[in-house]
Structure 1
Amino acid sequence: MRAESALFAGVAAFFAVTGALYGWLAAEPAGTVALTVAFLMSGLLALFCWTQHVKRGERLQDRADIAVVEGAGPLDFFAPHSLYPVLCALGAALFGLGVVFGVWLVLIGFGVLVPGTVGFVFQYGQRER
C-alpha cells in the first residue's frame, strides 16, 4: 500500500497548501475549515495506508516482477448476506428525519442505528480465520 499512501499524502499536502493560502488570502473562515478537514481526512487515509504497508509488508500489486498466476486463489472472507446494512440505513434515515421533524424521531433513529451498527461490526467477529 506504499503507492496509495504516497497518493493520499500528496492529496493531503495539496489541501494543506491550498488551505494555508486560502486562510491567508480569504476573509471567510468556512473555506479554511473545509480545506483543513479535507487535509485531516486525506492525511488520516495516508497514515492508515502507510501503517498497513508497514504492518503487512509489500503486496503482490506493489512488486513489478510479479506474474499474474502468483496472485491466484481466494482473496478474503466476504459476508454472504446480512440484514444489518438495511438496519443501519433505516436508523440513519430516521435519525436524519428526526433532525428535521423532532427529537422523538431522533431517539427512535438512534435506537435503531446503534443495534444495527453493533451487529454489523460484530456479526462475524467470532468466526475462525
Structure 2
Amino acid sequence: MKTNANLLWVLTAFFAIMTVVYVVWNLLDHGTMEWAGTFMLGLCMLLMALVAFYLVKVHAAQGGELPEDRLDGNIDDGDPEMGFFSPWSWWPIFLAGCTALLFLGLAVGFWISFIALGLGLIALTGWVYEYYRGMFAR
C-alpha cells in the first residue's frame, strides 16, 4: 500500500507539472488560456492527491504493513472475516440489471429510467427483506 501511495504522489507531481506546462504552452502559442484542458489536468492532479492521501492515512491507521505486503506473510495471515453474503440470492443480479436499464434509459430515452427505478425499488426491497420470508427466514 505504501508503494501505491508513493506512485500516486509521483503522478500528482506529474499532473501538477503538466498543468503548468499546458498553461504556459497555450499562453505562448495562442495568447489565451484553454480552460477545458487546464481544468481537466488540474482535476487529475487533485484526484491523484486525494487517493494518495487516503492510502497514506489508511496505511497509518492499520498500524503498518498488511500481511500480503510482507515477504514472510502466509495466506492465512490475511484471512479476516469479510462479512455475510447471501447464498443463492438472485436479487443482486436483478438489481444490477435494473441499474443497467437505468443507465440505458439515461442514454436512450428518459422514460426507460422510470421503469428501471420502479423495478430497482422492487429488487432492493427483495434483497433487504429476503431473510424475513421463505427458506432462509430468521
Q: TM-score range by the shorter chain?
A: 0.5 to 0.7
Give the TM-score normalised by structure 1. Answer: 0.64
Matched, 1:35 2:46: no
Q: Cα distance 1:108–1:56, how it changes in 2: closer, same or farther (>3 A)?
A: same
Of stretches 13-22 and 53-62 in structure 1, the one that deviates more from structure 2 is: 53-62
Question: Does the CA-based 8 Å contact 2:67-2:77 persist in structure 1?
Answer: no
1:72-121 per-residue CA deviation (whole Å, 9 max, x = no partner) reads 3452327475546534532332222212332222233344557768999x
Matched, 1:98 2:105: yes
The equivalent residue for 2:59 is 53
Distance 2:119 2:107 in 1: 17
Pairwise CA distance, 1:46: 0.5
Gaps (5+ residues) in structure 1? 121-129
Of stretches 30-39 and 6-15 in structure 1, the one that deviates more from structure 2 is: 30-39
Percent identity at matched positions? Answer: 26
Distance 2:59 2:90 in 1: 33
Pairwise CA distance, 1:18: 0.9
Q: Cα distance 1:61–1:74, how it changes in 2: closer, same or farther (>3 A)?
A: closer
Of stretches 26-35 and 83-92 in structure 1, the one that deviates more from structure 2 is: 83-92
Matched, 1:16 2:16: yes
Distance 2:53 2:19 in 1: 20
Pairwise CA distance, 1:20: 2.6
Helix, strand or coil: the match of 1:72? helix
Distance 2:122 2:46 in 1: 29
**What is the total number of aligned residue pairs between the two structures?**
117
The equivalent residue for 2:136 is none
Pairwise CA distance, 1:8: 1.0
Distance 1:117 1:15 in 2: 40
Distance 2:91 2:56 in 1: 30
Q: In the alignment, which of 79, 85, 94 is matched to residue 75 of structure 1? A: 79
Give the TM-score normalised by structure 2. Answer: 0.61
Distance 2:124 2:20 in 1: 37
Question: Does the CA-based 8 Å contact 1:90-1:112 persist in structure 2?
Answer: no
